[in-house]
Amino acid sequence: MPETALVVGGGGREHAIVRALRRSAAAPELLCAPGNAGIAADAEVFPAVAADDVEALVELATGRGVDLAVIGPEAALVAGAVDALEAAGVPTFGPSRAAAELEGSKAFAKELMAAAGVPTASHVLLHSHEEALAALERTAYPTVLKADGLAAGKGVILCGDEGAARAACDIFFTEQRFGATTVVLEEFLEGEELSLLALCDGENVVPLAPAQDYKRIFDGDEGPNTGGMGSYSPVPGFGAAEVEEIVERVHRPVVAAMAECGTPFHGVLYAGLMIGADGPKVLEFNARFGDPETQAVLPRLRSDLVDLFRAAREPGGLAGMRADFADDWAVTVVLASAGYPESSSKGDVIHGLAEAAELAEVTHAGTAARDGEIVTAGGRVLNVTGLGPDPAAARDRAYDAARRISFDGMQIRTDIAARAVKRVSGP
């Protein structure tokens, strides 16, 4: 059993992972790099060690005898944190740099899906502005343009007509806002979005509870995309049979194809799906836990997360294992700072944290400690997760707790999980 676990990252997702590891029977000592002001209450934090500073992570992990490292953010995966830690003898949960290409390159993911027969939107790759403008004349609208590469969930532009698509191409190619040289032009899919995350050991797939994420900044799914403004789990209409069907059509073929390529996938395979009239289609893969999905999923987990993480590291180690979840519902509301997602506001004092924590799980994202107070330090600041026997109870609890918290310019969506409440309890 591990004695010391290191969680890499410093957002709400990592805070939720730290809390879930705290519930493990293994009772590991918990470290988190860099962590944040809230994680500091649950783990020893290392603010000077950036999540993608691979050398510093290796030094910390070997110096402290870490026997389980868990990587949160994609930047650390793509920087090769798992490869370097494993090479230094630190057992690490997460995909290798090569396997993380599934998230790091949309072009790679699209090719792999085509080879594995996984349903997804049709697409073309655009390598230059000229090529893009020509393609925009031929395509149907609405359409979707995506930067190839990591863009924290923000490099996707939905375009209603050719004018909007041309403007998006200016952003990608002329302004270079997402640093991409390749842009994906993708068929617009209609339906309902679902995030289905699964633990993978290179061969087997163990699904976690499904969740729904709210990507846009404003109520009613208006405004620009963000990293995620709220989530809930489970999702009405996606019980064990539906989850199994998706895993069979999406996750298992991808895991098999990755193994065939010589880059077996260990870690969390996160499928962002659109469930339309002709079944699930993949919008994107992530090679890590979702944020804020994790804040709604992990509080419901009843299985031991240390056992699952250790098993996923071993080839075939998850055979016969499952992840069990409480029947409770969880609703997570994100509190963001002024200006998010274009910018963020720092240094505003946060009030009401203790009162909120009496009602719900409060996990920290962009927070910092200053003169004995907790202040804002990023775009997404806090996550408030309410639990309850039905969606309405969980939602009421989350909002009741969130209302206790205040800081200058606080942004909050008021419609998180409203859809789930309507479906389960009626209008």
Among 281, 293, 298, 361, binds ligand GLY (CB under 6 A): 293
Supply 164's token pair. Answer: 């909007």
Q: Which is nearer to ligand GLY, 223 or 352 (CB)?
A: 223
Interacting span for ligand AMP (CB under 6 A) from 81-89, 164-172, 181-189, 322-330 = 181-189
Q: Does 264 bind ligand GLY (CB under 6 A)?
A: no
Q: Which is nearer to ligand AMP, 10 or 228 (CB)?
A: 228
Supply 49's token pair. Answer: 């060690």
Size of the site for ligand GLY (CB under 6 A): 7
Quote the CA–CA distance of 405 and 407 in Å, as a whole number: 7
Among 228, 230, 379, 391, binds ligand GLY (CB under 6 A): 228
Q: Does 286 bind ligand GLY (CB under 6 A)?
A: yes
Q: Does 207 bind ligand GLY (CB under 6 A)?
A: no
Residue 74's binding partner out of ligand AMP, ligand GLY, none, with CB under 5 to 8 Å set by partner kind: none
Q: Does 186 bind ligand AMP (CB under 6 A)?
A: yes
Phi and psi angles of residue 342, each rounded to the nearest 5 degrees, phi first: -70, -40
Q: Does 284 bind ligand AMP (CB under 6 A)?
A: yes
The residues facing 126 across adjacent strands are: 183
Distance of closest approach, residue 49 Cβ to ligand AMP, in angstroms: 28
For helices 106-116 and 252-260, the axis angle rounded to 10 degrees is 100
Q: Does 110 bind ligand AMP (CB under 6 A)?
A: no
Cα angle: 169, vertex 173, 179; to 5 degrees: 120
Quote the CA–CA distance of 148 and 184 in Å, as a whole number: 7
Interaction pattern, residues 144-183, with ligand GLY; x per rule: CB under 6 A: ---------x------------------------------
Cα angle: 221, vertex 170, 183; to 5 degrees: 75
Q: Does 14 bind ligand GLY (CB under 6 A)?
A: no
Residue 134, SS3? helix
Among 12, 290, 366, 386, binds ligand GLY (CB under 6 A): 290
Supply 191's token pair. Answer: 């339906």
Distance of closest approach, residue 303 Cβ to ligand AMP, in angstroms: 27
Quickly count: other Cβ atoms within 10 Å of residue 218's Cβ. Answer: 15
Q: Does 201 bind ligand AMP (CB under 6 A)?
A: no
Q: Which is nearer to ligand AMP, 283 or 421 (CB)?
A: 283
Residues 6+ apart with CB under 8 A from 278: none
Q: Does 164 bind ligand AMP (CB under 6 A)?
A: no
How much is the CA Rg of the chain, to the nearest whole Å? 21
Residue 286's binding partner out of ligand AMP, ligand GLY, none, with CB under 5 to 8 Å set by partner kind: ligand GLY
CA distance readout (Å), 302 to 20, 23, 52, 146: 9, 9, 30, 37
Question: Are 274 and 108 in contact, with CB atoms under 8 Å apart?
Answer: no
Instruction: Report DSSP letters for 357-408, one per residue.
Output: HHHSEEEESSEEEETTEEEEESSEEEEEEEEESSHHHHHHHHHHHHTT-B-T
Q: Does 213 bind ligand GLY (CB under 6 A)?
A: yes
- Judged by CB under 6 A, the chain residues 132 through 161 that form the site for ligand AMP are 144, 146, 153, 156, 158
Residue 186's binding partner out of ligand AMP, ligand GLY, none, with CB under 5 to 8 Å set by partner kind: ligand AMP
Site of interaction with ligand GLY (CB under 6 A): 153, 213, 228, 286, 290-291, 293
Using CB under 6 A, list all residues that contact ligand AMP: 121, 144, 146, 153, 156, 158, 186-189, 193, 215, 225, 272, 283-284
